[in-house]
Structure 1
Amino acid sequence: MAGPRRDTRGIVDAPELFAQVRFRRREPAPVLRPYLEHYWLIDWDLPKPYASHLVPHPSVNLVFQRYGTGEDPGAGFAEVSGIGLELFTQKLEGRGRVCGVQFRPGGFRPFAPDRPVSQWTGRRLPADEVFAPPAPPSAVLDPADEDARVAALDAYLLALGPEPDPQAERAMALVDLVRTDRTVRRVDELARIEGLSSRSLQRLFAAYVGAGPKWVILRYRIHEALERAESDPEVDWAALAAELGYSDQAHLIRDFTATVGVPPTAFAPR
């Protein structure tokens, strides 16, 4: 990993989000990088409420968060957020801070090896119900210095002692292939590449990723379509549909609208 990714894939109307909040990605300690995408840090102080929207990645997140109003900074808490299958909306108001850990798809299981990752899918749970020792919200959220917050995240995750797991590495490599190779469009193609049956591939993804390979393929294609919709005012949707493996433009538009909640034309650049 050459550093946190810089794209905005999955963020709906990223320019508006960045105008409302201070958003950064930070790199974890080297020993943690095989398991994590990055840390993501958000701070805000808003004169009026704002709703952010995200088409979630196929990743589990550990999120330390604090929401305050007026002079009250609010109490910090930590939760594990499994893969979100639908559009995620978060209302932000007043002052607040979030310090999040985005695990690589397949990278969460080594930190919680006793249960399949599919058990967390679509759920948000207090972190203490998933991890021991308990997650320390104040240690992560209180420091004014951003480097200190990153160091606290490193310290906590290292204390959890992730266990190397060849199957987790296999799952991470397969999801990376789906994300980067647009020619992988079908579950049976991915299974053939890996030398697995489609059934075995489904079991691997349920245990280590938390969503099926077909869903992961579709989600990354929708991320691509959303980024194109927001950045290119002259998208050739028929050509993009073919590029992403859809049978026709209408199928892509239907999937996009069902996932994001509005058709692609709603995201024309300003």
Structure 2
Amino acid sequence: MRQTRGVLYPARLPEFHRLPPAANARDLVVWFWIPEWDIAPGRSSRQDIVGYPALNLVVEQGVVTLSGATTRASHRDLSGAGWAVGALLRPAAVAALTGDPAALVDAESIVDAPDLAQSVGAAMRSGDGRRERAVAAFSDWLAHRVGPIDGAASQANALAEILMGDRAADTVEEAATRLAVSVRTLQRLAHRHVGIAPAAMIRRRRLQEAAERLRLDPGADLSELAAELGYADHAHLTRDFRSILGIAPRTYRGGSGEEPAATPHA
């Protein structure tokens, strides 16, 4: 997956890194994402995101939060100076952090983890190599918190790969067949470990891919793109764009020319 997949306007990003987890957390984290910013007084940088259908555990300013999967695009206005260290979680990590990921859809909660906040914060203040040290500390904490993963958690990881990976299934039925489970079991796994339905995960992957393709090739034919990504037709792609991003694909294509990384916002 590309570094900026899911980011609608990459050139608006502050300094941004995606790092792999340490070996002890490979079954628990897809990647760690670390933005660092220093915005001039009176200015801000708006970050627009169409998030992955997954949970994120984030350390920022001494606070640890767990954010659920999202059903719509979101944004955040950065100002001043700061950093965050976030873990895009694999399904296997979720049960150790929440018993009801569906309750966190489009929401977040505070996690009581002062030791995680302290170790990651100390790493991020330590100069060169700070990001790598932060990832190592975060990985160690998660590996200890989650412990050995069971068969259901491993199966949930496989589900996410089948629905979101490079050779992803186009339908829920195909995903169930590849995982050798019933559609009902697939739905239960997704609800228990992600919080949203498998069909919603497929829909989000298609939308991310469509946005990325339009950003990289503004001249792409929308009908051809819709067919390649499994949409019924051009109108279906447009409806998906409007319902999740709030804009039509033609508007996004015309407006995806990148603006400076720190721009004023009202």
TM-score range, shorter chain: 0.7 to 0.9
2:54 aligns to what? 59
1:22 aligns to what? 15
Matches within 5 A, 1:120-269: 120-128=104-112, 134-142=114-122, 143-145=125-127, 146=130, 147-180=132-165, 184-268=169-253
Return the letter of the residue paired with 1:56. Answer: G
2:103 aligns to what? 119
User: Are residue 43 (structure 1) and residue 29 (structure 2) matched?
Assistant: no
1:88 aligns to what? 74
Specify whether residues 97 and 190 from structure 1 end up closer, same or farther in structure 2 by C-alpha distance, changes over 3 A only. Answer: same
User: Are residue 99 (structure 1) and residue 85 (structure 2) matched?
Assistant: yes
Structural RMSD (CA) = 2.0
**TM-score, structure 2 as length reference:** 0.85
Specify whether residues 262 and 208 from structure 1 end up closer, same or farther in structure 2 by C-alpha distance, changes over 3 A only. Answer: same
1:13 aligns to what? 9
**TM-score, structure 1 as length reference:** 0.84
1:73 aligns to what? none
SS, match of residue 107 in structure 1? helix
In the TM superposition, what is the alpha-carbon distance from 1:38 to its structure 2 partner?
1.2
User: Contact 1:110/1:162 (CA < 8 Å) preserved in 2?
Assistant: no
User: Contact 1:45/1:93 (CA < 8 Å) preserved in 2?
Assistant: yes
In the TM superposition, what is the alpha-carbon distance from 1:182 to its structure 2 partner?
6.2
For residues 58-88 of structure 1, give each alpha carbon's deviation from its aligned partner in whole angstroms, at most 9, with x where no partner exists: 111111113xxxxxxxxx2111111122212
For structure 1, the 5+ residue unaligned runs are 67-75
Partners in 2 of 1:236 and 1:32 — Cα distance? 41
Aligned counterpart in structure 1 of residue 63 of structure 2, from 77, 102, 117: 77
User: Contact 2:28/2:142 (CA < 8 Å) preserved in 1?
Assistant: no
User: Contact 2:63/2:117 (CA < 8 Å) preserved in 1?
Assistant: yes
Partners in 2 of 1:179 and 1:30 — Cα distance? 22
Partners in 1 of 2:78 and 2:126 — Cα distance? 20
Aligned length: 248
Partners in 2 of 1:183 and 1:161 — Cα distance? 27
Partners in 2 of 1:233 and 1:213 — Cα distance? 29
Specify whether residues 181 and 12 from structure 1 end up closer, same or farther in structure 2 by C-alpha distance, changes over 3 A only. Answer: closer
Which moved further from structure 2: 147-156 or 37-46? 147-156
1:31 aligns to what? 24
User: Contact 1:98/1:141 (CA < 8 Å) preserved in 2?
Assistant: no
Specify whether residues 171 and 13 from structure 1 end up closer, same or farther in structure 2 by C-alpha distance, changes over 3 A only. Answer: same
SS, match of residue 92 in structure 2? coil
Partners in 1 of 2:100 and 2:183 — Cα distance? 18
User: Contact 1:127/1:135 (CA < 8 Å) preserved in 2?
Assistant: no
For residues 152-176 of structure 1, give each alpha carbon's deviation from its aligned partner in whole angstroms, at most 9, with x where no partner exists: 2123223314331211211221221
% identical equivalent positions: 31
SS, match of residue 207 in structure 1? helix
Greater relative contact order, per chain length (Cα 8 Å cut-off, separation 6+): 2
Which moved further from structure 2: 116-125 or 244-253? 116-125
Specify whether residues 6 and 186 from structure 1 end up closer, same or farther in structure 2 by C-alpha distance, changes over 3 A only. Answer: closer
For structure 2, the 5+ residue unaligned runs are 258-266
Partners in 1 of 2:51 and 2:168 — Cα distance? 22
Which moved further from structure 2: 149-158 or 226-235? 149-158
